[in-house]
Amino acid sequence: MVGVKMAGQAAAMPASSMKTEAGGSQNAIRKICWLASFPKSGNTWTRILLSHLVGEKPSDSELDYVQLNGSISSNRVRFDNLTGLPSSDMTDDEIDILRPATYRSIAKDSSERLYVKVHDAYHENAQGNPIFPADCSYGVIYLVRNPLDVAVSYAFHQGHQDFAKTVAQLNCADHIMAGGPRSQLRQKTFGWAGHYKSWHQQTEIPVLTIRYEDMLEDTEACVMQMAKFLQLESDDMAERVAHAVAESHFDKLREKEARIGFQERPQKAERFFRSGRAGEGREQLSSELQNEIYNVNHELMRKLGYAK
């Protein structure tokens, strides 16, 4: 289930038919590729894959899992540095008003493509402006995963096994991550289905959608789709993709984390690269919790091939 939705189009089309309009080369500041997903849907794995695919310089430290220009959209320190304002003294709504300008600023100041991790839904601020402006955006690589598996992975990520709690979060259109005094800026997710719809109903930024399950089944094919979307074609692309996949194998990442740690692991989580499998939701969630997810998200689940 891999496809591209160009700006202004309602339906997805095969990535192989994508035109070079993606990213709008006529606009020099369209440098940001948003790596968007609901939490625990393969975003970090994708960033590591892209690191090995596009990275021009090898890391001097084995601790550097992700070597991409860019950061995370909710980076509070970067927001404070760019605005010259202490976000701790601002409300979340006030911060959202300034966020589009910070993204334009980092795009304008960069000479290279930027890859920015996003767990926010696509939405507007109180002034009616999109948080993620199209005029500095190359495109979106959107990762989606079966919500049954997301519920299990999200619980372990938060350091507990209260699956009812994470089911409620992904079913909640008002679900919010961070914000307030926390280390990251507020991220409105809109819940699992709302997150997907928000990015796919907007018509300003081209979107490449990739299912996590397809990445597990044929990682090389999915990375090649990303390379085409990013217009990274080269004579040695097949070799580069194979290298990226080999270096980003889940077992290899899990072993590396066990040996040296991973800085993105939440304090409460036992490990970041825990399982990575598909199907855990059906194994670990009660039938009642599975039904709760399906009752709220059944339309989109069927569309994406996550049948009951």
DSSP string covering 141-200, please?
EEEE--HHHHHHHHHHHTT---HHHHHHHHH-TT-EES-TTSSB--EE--HHHHHHHHHH
What is the rounded CA–CA span in Å between residue 184 and residue 269?
A: 17
pLDDT at position 100 is: 97
Name the band, by pLDDT with cuts 50, 70 and 90, for residue 14: very low
Interacting residues of 185 by C-beta distance below 8 A, sequence separation 6+: 73, 74, 75, 76, 79, 87, 92, 95, 99, 178, 179
Beta pairing class for 137-144 and 176-177: unpaired
Q: Is residue 24 part of a domain?
A: yes
State pTM to two decimals. Answer: 0.84
Q: Are strands 114-118 and 137-144 parallel, antiparallel or unpaired?
A: unpaired
Inside any domain, residue 188: yes
Report pLDDT for 75.
Answer: 93
**What does the block give as tokens for 262?**
């991973």
What's phi and psi for 209, nearest 5 deg? -105, 130
CB 184, CB 99: distance < 8 Å: no
What confidence category does residue 251 fall into, taking pLDDT thresholds of 50, 70 and 90? low
CB atoms near residue 73 (< 10 Å): 24
**According to the model, what pLDDT value does residue 257 have?**
53
Note whether residue 150 is domain-resident. Answer: yes
Q: 55-77: per-residue pLDDT in tens?
A: 754 454 444 455 677 889 999 99
Average pLDDT, integer, range 43-59: 77
More confident residue, 9 or 30: 30
| Token pair belonging to 45 | 């794995």
Nearest Cα neighbor of 173 from 198, 192, 186 is 192
Whole-number Å distance between alpha carbons of 16 and 225: 8
Q: Residue 19 corresponds to which tokens in the numbers above?
A: 């035109």
Q: What percent of the chain has pLDDT over 70?
A: 78
Q: Is the pLDDT of residue 262 over 60?
A: no
CATH (domain of 201): 3.40.50.300
172 within a domain of the structure (yes/no): yes
Give the whole-angstrom CA distance, residue 283 versus residue 268: 23
Look at residue 170 in the predicted model and tell me its pLDDT: 97
Per the domain annotation, does 308 fall within a domain? no
Q: Given the structure tokens 């993620």, which residue do they identify?
A: 132
Position 143 scores a pLDDT of: 97
In the predicted structure, residue 233 carries a pLDDT above the cut 90 = no
Query: How many angstroms separate the CA atoms of 29 and 46, rounded?
Result: 23
- Cα–Cα nearest to 231, from 53, 30, 20: 20
Q: Is the predicted pLDDT of residue 52 greater than 70, yes or no?
A: yes
Overall size of the chain counted in residues: 308
User: Looking at the predicted structure, is the pLDDT value of residue 235 above 90?
Assistant: no
Considering the domain boundaries, does residue 271 fall inside one? yes
129 falls within a domain: yes
Give 38's DSSP letter.
S
| Contacts of 304 by beta carbon, 8 Å cutoff, 6+ apart | 1, 144, 211
Does the pLDDT value for residue 159 go beyond 50? yes
Structural domain span for residue 38: 3-303
DSSP β-bridge partners for residue 184: 75
pLDDT beyond 50 at 7:
no
Averaged pLDDT score across all residues of the chain: 83
More confident residue, 270 or 224: 224
- How far apart CA 112 and CA 228 sit, in angstroms, is 17
**Three-state SS at 23:** coil
pLDDT value of residue 265: 47
How many structural domains are present in the chain?
A: 1
